[in-house]
Chains A and B, each alone.
Chain A
C-alpha cells in the first residue's frame, strides 16, 4: 500500500480475479474492508486479507479547485461561526471523507441564495464537533467569539451553525452568557445533509440570513416550521427543544409562541422581542459551574443514585420529575427522603417536568408540597435543558452562590425569556 492513497485508480488483485476502480477511504467502523469505486459509479468492498496485491494504475489528479465566484458586496455584512454538524460539512464523493466548509466561496457554492441578502464578512471555525460532544467550555468559546463579533460595528448579525442534538443547550447558554444584546444571534442547523438536493439547510440558511439582519436582538433558533420548504420559525433560545429525531421541523417553541415566521424574503413578527440597538455594548457573562447535573426520575428508581452526586460534591441538581413535579415518597425507594438530605447539606435541587409542555406546581398534591418543603425549587414552565444550563450559570457566580435564597431568587428571575408567566392554549401544539 506504499504510495497508494484514496482517490488513486488501482487494480485489486485476487488469486483468481481482479477489479479496477478508484480506491476509497475505508469506513471508520470497517477498517478491515477496502472499498473500490467502479467505473459505473457503484462502490463495492473486499476484505483486506483476501486481496493479494493492490496495483497502482494512475495517481489521483490533484485538481486545485478554483472557484471564481464574485460574492456580491454592498450588502449588510454578517459573520458566521461554524461549530460542526451536518449543515457545514461536505462529503468528498471520491474518497468518502467528510470535511467542514470554511471559506465564504465554499458557502457560496453550496448556498448561493444566502448571498442575495447579506455579505458574509467573516467565517470563524473555533472547532468542528458533533453537538453531543460539546460541553460548557465550548459554549463559552462560542459566546466569546459571538460577543466580539456583536461589538464589531461592521457586523449586522451573527449566524452560528451547529449540530441539532444539543443545539437547544447551546442556545440557552448563549441566552444567559450574552447580556444586553444589541443584534440578532441566529443559531441554525440542518437535519438532511447538504450533499443532497433536498437538504433543509438551504431554506434554514436563507431565513437565518434574513433574521441576522432583522431588528430582533435575541438569541434565536431558526429552522423549518413544518415539513414544507416554505418558511421557518424563529424560536427564542431558552424555549427551543428538539422534539423529533429526524424531521426538518425538529425544533419546537415550548410554552411560548415563536418570535417570528420567516420566509426567504420576508419576516412576520409573532411575539414581542428585544429590538436591535447598535449603541448597546454587549456584556459577556460566561461563568459556569459544571458541578451540576440533570437527572430524569422514573418509577421505581433507586434513590441511591443521588448519593453519587452527593459524594462527588455536586452543587446543584435539576430533577426532571413526573407531571406537575413529583418524585416517589414511599419508604423503600423514597426520593423525597434523599432530597431532604441533599438540600440539608447545601445542594441546590431544582424541579422541572418531563411532560415538556406546561408548568410545574408543588401545591396540587402532597408529594409536591413535601418536595417544596424539603427545599426544592420549582422552576415554573422552564425546559429541563434550559434549567440545567441556567443552574450551572447561576452557580458559576460566586457572589450569588453564597446564599441559598439568592440562588432561588435568581433561578426564578426571568433573564432571557426562560419563564413565561402566561401560558395560553396555543402554546401546546406540535
Chain B
C-alpha cells in the first residue's frame, strides 16, 4: 500500500489563532414582529410588490453621499408575497407589532443556559441593510444578554452576545438591476450567539459549536437544513480578520479552519493577507465572497418602546424550559420521557458518546440505581454513581475489560463503598483466567485451525468482554504453528 503523507501538524498556539463563532438559529414560533406563521413556501406567490431603496445619508462624517447614491440608482426590488402567510408588516406597510413573547422567552432560555447576563433594559435596533433583503431597508435586532460561557475540554469559551433578530427575505433571482425576493422568510425570529474570539484550535471550535447546538436543541428551535447558520471569525498573528460563512455541516468546521489558517500562513509570507468574508464550500475550502464590512450602522427602532426584561419574564422562561421530546433509536418514547423527567438526558448523551448502547445506559442511569437503592437500602446513590464513575464503567465495557453482565454487580459494590478501579482490577484476573482456559479448550477441541479462525471463535464467545488485543495476546501464547 502506498503510504499517505501525514498532514503537517499546525501549532495553533504558536501561530496565535484567535477564533470566534457566530451562530444563527431560527426559532420555531410565529414571526418576531407580526402574527404571521414562519412558513417557507414553494408554491407560486399570490402577488408582487415593486420597491426601490434609496441610500440614506447617515451619521456625520459619511463620505460622498451623492456618489454612493449614484451607485444604487435604479435598482429595483420585487417582493413576492402570500395572502395568507404575509401581512402588511413584512411589506413595510405597517409598524412592527410588539416583539413575539414566545421568541423572547426562548432567547432568554438560551441565554440562561449559556450562563449569560440578561439585560434588564434594552432597545430594539435597526441595522441598516440595503441589498433589498429587508423591505424596510434595515434588519431589526435586539441585544438580550452578554458575557456568558460554555465549557469545553480545552477550557471555557466566552459568549460575547446573544441577540434576537429577524431573518431576511429569501433571494429568488437577480438579473441586471432587478432582484426578486420572497417574503416568507422575512421576520422569522433568529437567535444570534457570538462567542468571544477565545477559541484556540479547530477541535475546540467544533466542540463549542456542538455544545451550543446541544443547548439550542433543548429549546423550541426550527430543525433541518437552513434553520441554523454558522460563521467563523478568525485571525492568526500577522493576518487580517477573516469571516468564514455558511457552514451547513458542523463536521466541516475543523477542516475549514485548518485550510484557512494554512492559506493565511501562506498569504502572510507574501504579505497579502486582507480582511474578507469567505463562503465555505462542501469540501471545507472556501471562496471569496466580499470584503469584510465595517461595523454595521445601527439606530433605534423608533416604532417600539424600550424592551424591559423583568424578573417575572425570566422566571417564567426558566419554568417553561421544557426540553423538546427527542427520539432515540433503541429506546421507546416512554424511556426518553423518563430520561428528561429524571434530568438524566444530558448524562445519557455524554455516556452514549463513549459507547453507544442506549438500553444499557438507560438501565445504568435509571433502573439499577433504583433497584440497588431499595434492595440495599442505601440512600444518596447520586454521588456515588457520578458521571465520572459511570463514564469509566462504560469505557471499560467498550474496551472489553468488563462485560455487560457484570455491571449490576459492580454498581452494587460501588454503592457499598468500593472503589471502581479496585473492583475492576480484582475482577480482571478471574476473567482473564477464564479466557485463557477457554482458549486452551477451543484449541484442543478444534485442532489445526488458522490463527485468525481461532480469533474469530473466541471473539464470538467473549463478544465485548475482552478487547481483540487481550485475546490475541493470550492466543499467541498457546497457538503453535
Contact = CB atoms under 8 A, between A and B. Distances in A.
Interface of A: 27, 29-30, 33, 35, 38-47, 63, 65, 69, 91, 93-94, 96, 108-110, 112-113, 192-199, 202-203, 227-230, 245-248
Contact of B121 (A38, A45, A108, A110): A45
Contacts of A69: 66
Contacts, number: 122
A113 B119 CA distance: 42
A35 B123 contact: yes
Interface in B118-152: 119-123, 125-128, 130, 135-138, 141-143
B220 to A, nearest CB: 25
Contact of B130 (A45, A113, A197): A197
A47 B93 CA distance: 34
Given A33-B306, A197-B137, A198-B136, A43 B50 contact: no
A63 B305 CA distance: 30
17 contacts: A30-B306, A33-B306, A40-B161, A42-B143, A45-B121, A45-B306, A69-B66, A96-B300, A113-B54, A193-B302, A194-B56, A195-B299, A197-B53, A197-B54, A198-B136, A228-B50, A228-B51
A413 to B, nearest CB: 39
Interface in B57-95: 57-61, 65-66, 69, 88, 91-95
A41 B141 CA distance: 11
A35 B308 CA distance: 13
Contact of B122 (A43, A47, A91, A203): A43
B94 A27 contact: no
A41 B298 contact: yes
A197 B299 contact: no
Contacts of B217: none
A302 B130 CA distance: 54
B93 A65 contact: no
The 9 A-B residue pairs with the shortest CB-CB distance in the complex, in nearest-first order: A197-B137, A45-B121, A41-B298, A93-B299, A43-B123, A197-B53, A42-B143, A228-B50, A198-B137
A63 B53 CA distance: 28
A46 B308 CA distance: 10
A78 B128 CA distance: 33
Contacts of A199: 54, 56, 137
A110 B55 CA distance: 8
Contacts of B121: 33, 44-47
Contacts of B50: 228-230
A405 to B, nearest CB: 48
Given A41-B296, A227-B91, 13 more contacts: A33-B306, A40-B295, A42-B298, A43-B298, A44-B119, A65-B60, A109-B65, A112-B65, A112-B69, A196-B56, A196-B136, A228-B49, A246-B93
Contacts of B93: 227, 246-248
Contact of B52 (A44, A91, A203): A203
B65 A202 contact: no
Nearest to A70: B66
Given A33-B306, A43-B122, A228-B50, A197 B128 contact: yes
Contacts of A33: 121, 306
Nearest to B161: A40
Contact of A196 (B137, B142, B163): B137
B156 interface: no
B136 A246 contact: no
Nearest to B142: A42
A42 B54 contact: no
Nearest to A193: B302
A401 B296 CA distance: 63
* Interface size of B as a range: 35 or more
A94 B69 contact: no
Contacts of B54: 113, 197, 199, 202
A230 B120 CA distance: 44
Interface in B23-56: 49-56
Contacts of B91: 227
Nearest to B81: A227
Classify the interface of chain A: helix, strand, loop or mixed. loop
B89 to A, nearest CB: 9
Nearest to A92: B59
Nearest to A247: B93
A102 B120 CA distance: 38
A46 B94 CA distance: 30
Interface in B142-192: 142-143, 161, 163
B251 interface: no
Given A42-B143, A93-B299, A247-B88, A197 B122 contact: no
A42 B93 CA distance: 25
B363 interface: no
B359 interface: no
B324 interface: no
Interface in B385-440: none
A251 to B, nearest CB: 14
Nearest to B119: A44
A44 B124 CA distance: 9
Nearest to A245: B94
Of A35, A110, A227, which is in contact with the most chain B CB atoms at under 10 Å from its CB? A227
Interface string B251-282: 00000000000000000000000000000000
A247 B89 CA distance: 10
B343 interface: no
A110 B56 CA distance: 6
A218 to B, nearest CB: 28
Contacts of A44: 119, 121-123, 143
Contacts of A94: 59
B223 interface: no
B469 to A, nearest CB: 54
Contact of A45 (B51, B122, B135, B295): B122
A39 B143 CA distance: 12
Nearest to B295: A41
Contacts of A43: 122-123, 125, 298, 300
A30 B307 CA distance: 12
A112 B72 CA distance: 12
Contact of B58 (A93, A112, A203, A227): A93
A298 to B, nearest CB: 27
B373 to A, nearest CB: 43
B397 to A, nearest CB: 48
A198 B94 contact: no
A111 to B, nearest CB: 8
Nearest to B69: A112
A41 B136 contact: no
Nearest to B194: A40
A115 to B, nearest CB: 10
B211 interface: no
A34 to B, nearest CB: 9
Nearest to A224: B93
A198 B92 contact: yes
A84 to B, nearest CB: 16
A213 to B, nearest CB: 22
Contact of A41 (B52, B125, B135, B302): B125
Interface in B78-120: 88, 91-95, 119-120
A99 to B, nearest CB: 13
A19 to B, nearest CB: 10
A27 B300 CA distance: 11
Contacts of B55: 197
B297 interface: yes
B57 A91 contact: no
Of A194, A196, A202, which is in contact with the most chain B CB atoms at under 10 Å from its CB? A196
Contacts of B142: 42
B59 A93 contact: yes
Interface in B202-250: none
A171 B56 CA distance: 29
B135 A198 contact: yes
A230 B119 CA distance: 43
Contacts of B56: 110, 194-197, 199
B49 A63 contact: no
A91 B126 CA distance: 13
